[in-house]
Structure 1
Amino acid sequence: MYIQRILSGVFLVAFLSLVFFTTLAYLNLNDTYTLYRQDQIALDILRAIEPLENNILNINNGAIAYATQGHTQALEQHGKGLANYPRSLRVLQSIDATGLGKSEDMQRLMQHADSVISLSSRLVAQVKASPSGASFTVLEEKLHQHLYLFRAVVKAIEHQQQAKQLLADENTQSKLNNMLHTFIVFTAFMFLFFMATYWLIHKTLRSRQQAAELLREKEQLFSILFYKSPIMLALTELSTGKIIDTNDNSLAFLGYSREQVIGRTAHELKLYPNPQDRENVIQMVLNNQKVRNLEMRLRTQSGEIRDVMYNIERMHLNNLDCILLAFEDITDRKRAEKKLKDSELLFSTIFYKSPIIKSISDANTGAYLDVNDRFCQFFGYPKEEILGKSSTELQLWKNEHDRTAFAQKLRNEQRVKSLELEVKTKQGAIHHISTHAEILRLDGKECIVSAAVDITEKKQADELIRNLNISLEKSVAERIKEVSDYKYALDQSSIVEITDKTGAFIYVNDNFCNISGYRQEELLGKNHRITKSGYHSKEFFQDMWETISRGNIWKGEIKDLTKDGVYYWTETTIVPILDEQGSPHQYLAIRWDITSKKASEEALLRAVDELRMSSERLKEAQALSHVGSWEFSLEPQEAIWSDEIYRILGTSPTETPTKLESFMTFVHPEDVEHSRKMLTAQTYKADTSYQFNCRMVLKNGSVKYLYNEFKAIVEPDGKPVKLIGITHDVTKEWLAQLENERITSDLLQRNKDLEQFAYIVSHNLRAPVANIMGLSNLIRMLPPENSAFKKSMDGLQISVNKLDTVIKDLNNVLQIRRQINEMKEEIDLQQLVDDIKSMVANLIDKENVLIYTDFSRLGKIYSIKSYLHSIFSNLISNSIKYRQPDQRPIIEIIADKIDSKIYFYFRDNGLGIDLKAHEHKLFGLYKRFHFHTDGKGMGLFMVKTQVETLGGKIYVQSEVNKGTEFILEFEEQHMRQW
Structure 2
Amino acid sequence: MRNTRLSELDQLREQVATLEQLQSLYEQESIKKTLQLEQALQALHAQNQYLEQISQELTGLSTFQQAILDSANFAIISTDLNGTIQSFNVAAERMLGYPAAEVVGQVTPALIHDVQEVIDRSRQLSIELKTPIEPGFEVFVAKAKLGQISEAEWTYIRKDGSRLPVLLSITAIRNEHYEITGFLGIAKDITAQKQAEQKLQDINAALNQTAIVAITDAQGIITFANDKFCEISQYRREELIGQTHQIVNSGYHSRQFFAEMWHTIAQGRTWRGEIKNKARDGSYYWLDTTIVPFLDTQGRPYQYLAIRTDITARKHAEAALQKLSLIASKTDNVAIVTDAKGYIEWVNDSFYRVTGYQLEEVVGRKPGSILQGPETSPATIAEIRQSLIQQQSFSGEILNYHKDGTPYWILLQINPIFDEAGQLTHFIAIESDITDRKLMETHLQNEVEERQRAVQELHQLAEQLEISNRELQDFAYVSSHDLQEPLRKIQAFGDRLKATCHDSLNEKGQDYLERMLNAASRAQVLINDLLAFSRVTTKGQPFEVVNLKEVLEGVLSDLEIRIEQTEATIDCDPLPIVQADPLQMRQILQNLLSNALKFRREDIPPKIQVRSQILTNGNQNCCELRIIDNGIGFEQKYTDRIFQIFQRLHGRGTYEGTGIGLAICRKIAERHGGTLIAESQPNQGATFIFTLPLESVPTEPLLTASGNHSNQGNHHD
Same fold (TM over 0.5): no
State the TM-score, normalizing by the size of structure 1: 0.25
Q: Which has the higher helix share?
A: 1
Q: Which has the higher contact order (CA 8 A, sep 6+)?
A: 2
